[in-house]
C-alpha cells in the first residue's frame, strides 16, 4: 500500500468512525476500489492502527469529560461518574463476547465482501431514518439502556453497519437525550478499541514489517486529524437531528455497492 492510498484510507476511517456511515464498510469499499491486495493480517494491522488513531481523537475531543469522570471515579463513591464508567463496562460485554468467540468468522467478512457491505449500509440507513424522527428528551442512559446499546455495538462489528449510527440510533430510540446518546456512543468504544489492540498484540495476530512504517504512520495521522473534525461535527449534527442526510447517503452507497458487485 503506497502513501497516497494510506492517506485516503486514513481520512475515510477518521471521517466514517464518527459519521454514521460505517467506517468498516467504507474501508472495505476503499480497499476494493484502490485494489488493496494485502494479506488478511497485514490488512488487519492497518485497520487496527486507524482505529487506534480515531480512539485518540475521541479522547482529545472529550478530554474535559474524561478528566472529570476520572476525578469522580477516584473518589471511590457510587456517584454519577462511577455509574457512567460502570455503564460503559456493561455496554462492552456483548462486543467482547462476539470478539472472543467469533473473531475468525468476523475476519472472514473483512475480505472484500462488497455485497454484504451494501446490504448492511441499507440497514444503517433505516436505523438513521428512525432515529431522526425520534423526539429529543432529557433522559439519561440507564444500565438497561447501556446493555442494549452494547448489543447494537456488537452487531455493528459487521462491515457496513455503522457503529456510531447503530449505537446513537438505539440510544435515541430508547428515549435518551440526543447529546447524551452521542457522548455515550463515542466514549463507549474507546476502552473496547484499546482492549482489542492489547489482545492482538499479545496474541501475535498482528504482523509488522519495517517497510510498512511510513504507510502506517501517514494513515494514522490522516485518521487522527479527520477524526477530530468528524467527532466535533457529528455531535452538532445529532443535536440538530440531521441524521436523515446520512441515511440517504448510506442508501445511495449501499445500492451502489450492490450494483457494483452484480455488474462485476
- pLDDT by residue (tens digit) across 143-152? 999 999 999 9
Please tell me the predicted confidence (pLDDT) of residue 243.
Answer: 84
Q: What's the CA gap between 199 and 184, in Å, rounded? A: 24
**Sequence-separated (6 or more) residues with CB below 8 Å from residue 112:** 28, 31, 32
For the chain, the farthest-separated pair of C-alpha atoms sits apart, in whole angstroms, at 60
Please tell me the predicted confidence (pLDDT) of residue 40.
Answer: 45
Q: Is 209 exposed, middle or buried (0-12, 13-18, 19+ CB in 10 A)?
A: exposed
DSSP state of 209: -
State the average pLDDT over residues 19-41: 68
The residue to which cell 455503522 is assigned: 162
Please tell me the predicted confidence (pLDDT) of residue 218.
Answer: 92
**The pLDDT of residue 132 is above 90:** no
Higher pLDDT, 43 or 190: 190
pLDDT digits (tens, 9 = 90+) for 221-252: 999 999 999 989 888 888 777 888 889 999 99
Question: What would the grid cell of residue 93 be?
Answer: 460485554
Question: What would the grid cell of residue 70 be?
Answer: 476520572
Amino acid at each position: 500500500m503506497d502513501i497516497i492510498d494510506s492517506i485516503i484510507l486514513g481520512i475515510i476511517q477518521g471521517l466514517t468512525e464518527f459519521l454514521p456511515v460505517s467506517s468498516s464498510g467504507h474501508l472495505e469499499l476503499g480497499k476494493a476500489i484502490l485494489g488493496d491486495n494485502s494479506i488478511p493480517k497485514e490488512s488487519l494491522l492497518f485497520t487496527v492502527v486507524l482505529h487506534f488513531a480515531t480512539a485518540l481523537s475521541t479522547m482529545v475531543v472529550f478530554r474535559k469529560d474524561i478528566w472529570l469522570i476520572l476525578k469522580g471515579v477516584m473518589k471511590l463513591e457510587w456517584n454519577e461518574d462511577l455509574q457512567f464508567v460502570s455503564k460503559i463496562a456493561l455496554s462492552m460485554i456483548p462486543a467482547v463476547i462476539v470478539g472472543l468467540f467469533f473473531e475468525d468468522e468476523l475476519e472472514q467478512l473483512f475480505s472484500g465482501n462488497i455485497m454484504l457491505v451494501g446490504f448492511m449500509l441499507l440497514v444503517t440507513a433505516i436505523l438513521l431514518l428512525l432515529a431522526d424522527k425520534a423526539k429529543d428528551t432529557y433522559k439519561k442512559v440507564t444500565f438497561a439502556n447501556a446493555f442494549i446499546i452494547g448489543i447494537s455495538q456488537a452487531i455493528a462489528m459487521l462491515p457496513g453497519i455503522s457503529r456510531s449510527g447503530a449505537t446513537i440510533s438505539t440510544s435515541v430510540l430508547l428515549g435518551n437525550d440526543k447529546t447524551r446518546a452521542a457522548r455515550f456512543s463515542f466514549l463507549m468504544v474507546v476502552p473496547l478499541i484499546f482492549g482489542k489492540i492489547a489482545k492482538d498484540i499479545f496474541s501475535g495476530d498482528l504482523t509488522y514489517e519495517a517497510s510498512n512504517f511510513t504507510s502506517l504512520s501517514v494513515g494514522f495521522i490522516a485518521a487522527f486529524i479527520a477524526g477530530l473534525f468528524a467527532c466535533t461535527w457529528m455531535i452538532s449534527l445529532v443535536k440538530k437531528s440531521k441524521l436523515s442526510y446520512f441515511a440517504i447517503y448510506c442508501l445511495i452507497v449501499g445500492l451502489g455497492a450492490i450494483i457494483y458487485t452484480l455488474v462485476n
